[in-house]
Amino acid sequence: MRRLLVLLSLTLLVSPAAAAPSRVVPASMPQVQLTFAPVVKRIAPAVVNVYARSVEQVATNPFFANPLFAQLFGADPQMRQRVQQSLGSGVIVRADGVILTNNHVVAGGTDIVVALADKREFKARVLLADPRTDLAVLKIDTRGEQLATVPFADSDQVQVGDLVLAVGDPFGVGQTVTMGIVSALARTQVSGSDYQFFIQTDAAINPGNSGGALVTTDGKLAGINTSILSRTGESIGIGFAIPANLARRVLEGALGGGVRLAWIGADGQQVTADIAAGLGIAVPNGVLLKSVYPGGPAANAGLHTGDVIFSVDGQPVNDMQALNYRIATRKPGDVVKLHVHLGRQAADVAMTLALPPENPPRDLQTVGGRNPLTGAKIENLSPAVATELQMPLLSRGVAIAAVAAGTPSGGYGFQPGDIVRGVNGVEIRSVGDLQKALAGASAWSLVIDRGGQRLSLDVQG
């Protein structure tokens, strides 16, 4: 009986009725009508629509679109123009008409139009388009008019669970505001870029929202809405935004002569459970260095292959994309504090950031004449070029920097980042070697390195 009474007492102590928090009836209409309308009213004029128009040449007979077939049959393919349009959003970040958007919104566009919230339209010029970060900076001529802007937030202060608003023009239906929370931070396995480090949100983001604003509830720019994870192309509550701190660095570069992202001078990989066990690390966190460039910032700070970096200025890094992001939001010359694992000892190390060296000089040239690489831009590989093309740190040789559509190089399927290793049995070490090997030949046997895979191409003249 005594035991039963004790159990009954405990039950009463933890009963839902006893533990339930008190509820308060709203005392006034303003409390009932809590709303984000004042924030939206302030930021909406600073979110714009971006229309990009591009014209490409297309063969009327697809058979002759391949330069090889055109050469074999002596045909000069008839070409026609095809107009493509892309729709996205943008954010005014400076009152004189400077706008942030996504690179993929304006990539390849010849005519770019910005439509303000009040329906006025302006032709825009691209100050900078950076595929590494998928950000672009536009400028419109306001003729002295000062436009509404969205101020930057410190995106490092954004936390999971924060309320956010996504503002843009989904599906071209007109400016739309959706609300959600920050679902996750530091999402890096979303795209192939070395600098992608996303804020994830469940605020609805759909096609046309790209380049729009992800805004905190106090009306500041937390990020640039960029992509979604979806099997249908429509929002399922998994959207991603580029953090404002990286967007601000790109903006500064656009207004100051180009984006020059700081460099650590090392490549690495995520620390797995097996790696952590082998190194005596209790929890599998951090970035294990696989290669360190001699004389680079990491080497000068005393780091070596096999060391592990856990954090940059107190911010954790768990893969190479996160590490690159943390470095990119700083400036060359800044000193950052790394928490590292050296051998079997944890330590704090100061590292001075720098720009990747351009050694050897890039010697950028466009291949001419009649050969499979005609129309391609080629350059000598250096840490600077490898960083721009998002290639391994210690890459050497001659890289294809760009391929022009409608040229043999485009028709044969060459891609930016391909390394030309050999032509007709001759090893290629420089741009001069490649130009010399291509000239005067009537047939070409090329060896290409694409992401570590060896490819061969034989072409008859």
- Cis peptide bond N-terminal to 392, omega within 30: no
Query: Which of these is catalytic: 86, 210, 311, 409?
Result: 210
* Residues 323/381, Cβ–Cβ less than 8 Å: no
Query: Which of these is catalytic: 86, 89, 104, 307?
Result: 104
* Residues 90/138, Cβ–Cβ less than 8 Å: yes
Q: Is 210 a catalytic residue?
A: yes
Q: Is 339 a catalytic residue?
A: no
Backbone angle region of 258, left / alpha / beta, with phi > 0 → left and psi within -120 to 50 → alpha: left
* Neighbour count for residue 423 (Cβ, 10 Å): 21
Q: Is 304 a catalytic residue?
A: no
Give the span between the Cα atoms of 240 and 246, in whole angstroms: 14
Query: Which of these is catalytic: 134, 169, 418, 449?
Result: 134
CA distances from 325 to 309, 310, 401 (A): 14, 14, 23
* Residues 89/208, Cβ–Cβ less than 8 Å: yes
- Listed residue (259, 167, 160) closest to 220, CA to CA: 167
* Residues 292/321, Cβ–Cβ less than 8 Å: no
Backbone angle region of 410, left / alpha / beta, with phi > 0 → left and psi within -120 to 50 → alpha: alpha
* Residues 245/75, Cβ–Cβ less than 8 Å: no
**Class of residue 29 by CB neighbours under 10 A (exposed 0-12, middle 13-18, buried 19+):** exposed
DSSP code, position 233: S
Q: Containing H/E element for 327? A: helix 320-328
The amino acid at 410: G
Structure tokens at 283: 């929890």
Q: What are phi and psi of 216, to 5 degrees?
A: -75, 165
The amino acid at 36: F
Render 181-215 in DSSP notation, one character per residue: EEEEEEE-TTSS-TT--EEEE-S---TT-TT-EEE
Give the span between the Cα atoms of 205 and 355, in whole angstroms: 35
Q: Which residues are catalytic?
A: 104, 134, 210
